[in-house]
Structure 1
């Protein structure tokens, strides 16, 4: 209970942080980080916490104005202290009765993680650091592959930033400038030598991670806004991009040229993801469609299976995972959509066909909100994912569980829509970003 009140107080201060010392971002970062430390060190009874929150809210509203205040007396406040259930979190179970985890006697897997429950293993309650170097929404945060420290952020302010979260204190290593419009997506190459960024200015830039210089700048052939990108897993010399004209294109990095062939999907292509070997690429657009694209060895593309969820919604996040374990073997696709849902689909054939396995509600109607699988979940009994939300919270969900037990942890600290989430490789840190440009690095409770 005390932890929940501490998060409420932190969330209250975070809402006003952008208005503090507007000419000194370093001061704002130090201030909110110190506030987090002090709150964790403070002991109060529940009633004292309630009184403190009400008084703090009044004082901040008087000082900064009412436009960013929180109505702590409202029963609809997004600062609920119940981290296991919410009024709007009622999962809808698919017709399939198959459990995601068929093996209940997973002694070896439980031993690997210290025989802790999923809730204990995902108790991300501490704030490790806060970054606010961006002036507009941070659209994506992404840790380097198989690393614990380097994090890259993209923003609608047109810049990217690379941070070191393991230094003492964590720091911004570089600001990557050059795009003339917002950057909706980025991607690390497999060996982390390069960072690809795509922009609404119709360009893709390739950055060297060794010295943060810009290696290449390429213009989209039809001058379309580029909304997403991924490296081809089986050939990191190729980058696939999706644009606002509904086209998937392939870029040859070494040649610095787009291949002639493209695949017409339709709508605004908001997200791309791939299976492990890059044979199947899934796309999501603003027409509620998920389309599988089969990639050929010679770089060709052909359409596979298509699933239309609802033509009036947007597919904002796709994440693929193959679980090689006794507990769960099916390849799965995690999907966020603007119909207040986060869904789990089984991949049922070699053409990328999908079958709904589970569906949960998540407050999401407007923005490009993303989710992800927890990296080493296959070592545990259960299946956990983490998602952003338009209510400003970050939710950990055990997608094997039903209704009131699905949410195993809730992080409260952002003052606006949480757009992106990313784990480092050993799950010791979680990065989350929001519509105001704030990036919070959360540490696992037992990770000092």
Structure 2
């Protein structure tokens, strides 16, 4: 365990200084960081803890002397002036308000059940921390030259990963090939890509962009099937999802505060399928039936909608202010989080330094606060996700990016310190996170365009992840 944590710390240190190595030769930087990762895996066994600490300290001093910069391991390094996913109209000093304009629910205790005992047996009787001991770097992708705003594994697929980037491209990676490879890069957007989504059958990918277009890509033929402009001339499209019950429909959100339904097969916006929320629509989520839709904007507001699958009509229902003027950058929905807590649940990232877990309390999508967790998040499009098979265990985890360059695993049913693992490998704000369906790999992306694949390491001695302090 100690060796794995030390390996991760050294890798994080190298990543922080990597931008200063051969600034005119990015290919060398990528080759260097990959080779360092390989060497750490091969030669990180056998040393005692004192020697490891001394090595880390001396190496940090040498790197600082060599490049003439100070990189505090506890802070994210200043990033270069690239196209970014920074929220342009968020407050300069966003802070957590003293009170949310939502009422916490009653604190119901989690009661162990026989089903939970069976669930633990399905995963070998291991603890939550052991199940989420992701520390090994499986692969590093660097095909993008600007922030990768979203990563998303295909549905019920452990191999294909979609990456959306502010360099204007969308890439599809095969993460289980030997070695992992980029299968195709879709180019066509004239500005940064803000979001992407897979169709249910994984044959199509939809993407949206600051250029005001939605594009539909056919994965097998590597072709763009359709380009549709936003209804409002000059609007940027900031979020998009396939409608789960009808993949002919795509729901999108633009910079003019409009939630829009698009019949992507016909290229038209159906009548009644547009609703005005205000602000900038940064995040969208649907329940599995497609009947409920939630939209979050840069003013800290979430609104629920009822969706009519036959007509494409949206009906506005419930409004919730999470935190005034603190953007809601990600929304995820899950039918139930564990065998002991079966309530439909929504997970959100809010740029008030919090991740919030909200309970869906009625058929109109009303939300109540269940728990909130503190992370560093004020200015960027940070995202989170539910762990896909956590319902087969007692306890439940979510994973979130953070502006301190770390990735956090949070046990949402643990009292006290909820963090069960922390990954350090990125050198700038971590934006996107995504699991493949069997949780064997976790993909994370950052502001500088790096995508890291983490693999779970199981050992007889227990978890190998780095517990949070």
Give the TM-score normalised by structure 2.
0.87
What residue ranges of structure 1 are gaps of 5+ in the alignment? 80-87
Change (3 A) 1:24 1:428: farther
**1:344-371 Cα shifts (integer Å, max 9, x gaps):** 1110000100111111111111111000
Question: Root-mean-square deviation (CA), in Å?
Answer: 2.1
Partner Cα distance (1:347, 1:409) in 2: 27
Q: Secondary structure at the match of 2:39?
A: helix
Q: Say if 2:326 and 2:351, in contact at 8 Å, map to a contact too.
A: yes
Residue 289 of structure 2 is aligned to residue 268 of structure 1 = no
Change (3 A) 1:338 1:60: same
Residue 356 of structure 2 is aligned to residue 340 of structure 1 = no
Q: Secondary structure at the match of 2:17?
A: helix
Q: Secondary structure at the match of 2:423?
A: strand
Which aligned runs of 4 or more in structure 1 are off by greater than 4 angstroms? 21-27, 76-79, 92-95
Q: Say if 2:305 and 2:316, in contact at 8 Å, map to a contact too.
A: yes
- Choose the corresponding residue for 1:331, options 313, 322, 344: 344
Residue 267 of structure 2 is aligned to residue 256 of structure 1 = yes
- Report the alpha carbon displacement of residue 423 of structure 1 after superposing the two structures with TM: 0.2
Partner Cα distance (1:212, 1:17) in 2: 33
Aligned to 1:441: 453
- Choose the corresponding residue for 2:415, options 390, 402, 417: 402
Aligned pairs, how many? 429
Partner Cα distance (1:164, 1:25) in 2: 23
- Report the alpha carbon displacement of residue 287 of structure 1 after superposing the two structures with TM: 0.9
Question: How is 1:288-367 mapped onto 2 (pairs within 5 angstroms)?
Answer: 288-297=300-309, 298-323=311-336, 326-367=339-380
Q: Secondary structure at the match of 2:445?
A: strand
Residue 122 of structure 2 is aligned to residue 107 of structure 1 = no
Q: Secondary structure at the match of 1:151?
A: strand
Q: Secondary structure at the match of 1:37?
A: helix
Aligned to 2:180: 170
Aligned to 2:213: 203
- Report the alpha carbon displacement of residue 27 of structure 1 after superposing the two structures with TM: 4.4
Q: Secondary structure at the match of 2:402?
A: coil
Aligned to 2:53: 50
Question: How is 1:224-235 mapped onto 2 (pairs within 5 angstroms)?
Answer: 224-235=235-246
Partner Cα distance (1:289, 1:340) in 2: 16
Question: How is 1:151-162 mapped onto 2 (pairs within 5 angstroms)?
Answer: 151-162=161-172
- Choose the corresponding residue for 1:412, options 407, 410, 424: 424
Change (3 A) 1:153 1:324: closer
Question: How is 1:26-65 mapped onto 2 (pairs within 5 angstroms)?
Answer: 26-40=27-41, 41-43=43-45, 44-65=47-68
Q: Say if 1:94 and 1:359, in contact at 8 Å, map to a contact too.
A: no
Change (3 A) 1:174 1:19: farther
What residue ranges of structure 2 are gaps of 5+ in the alignment? 78-95, 460-469
Q: Say if 1:328 and 1:378, in contact at 8 Å, map to a contact too.
A: no
- Report the alpha carbon displacement of residue 63 of structure 1 after superposing the two structures with TM: 3.3
- Report the alpha carbon displacement of residue 14 of structure 1 after superposing the two structures with TM: 1.2
Partner Cα distance (1:77, 1:312) in 2: 25
- Choose the corresponding residue for 1:377, options 383, 390, 400: 390
- Report the alpha carbon displacement of residue 196 of structure 1 after superposing the two structures with TM: 0.5
**1:229-260 Cα shifts (integer Å, max 9, x gaps):** 00000100000100000001111122122223
- Report the alpha carbon displacement of residue 19 of structure 1 after superposing the two structures with TM: 4.0
Partner Cα distance (1:379, 1:114) in 2: 11
Q: Secondary structure at the match of 2:410?
A: strand
Partner Cα distance (1:351, 1:142) in 2: 28
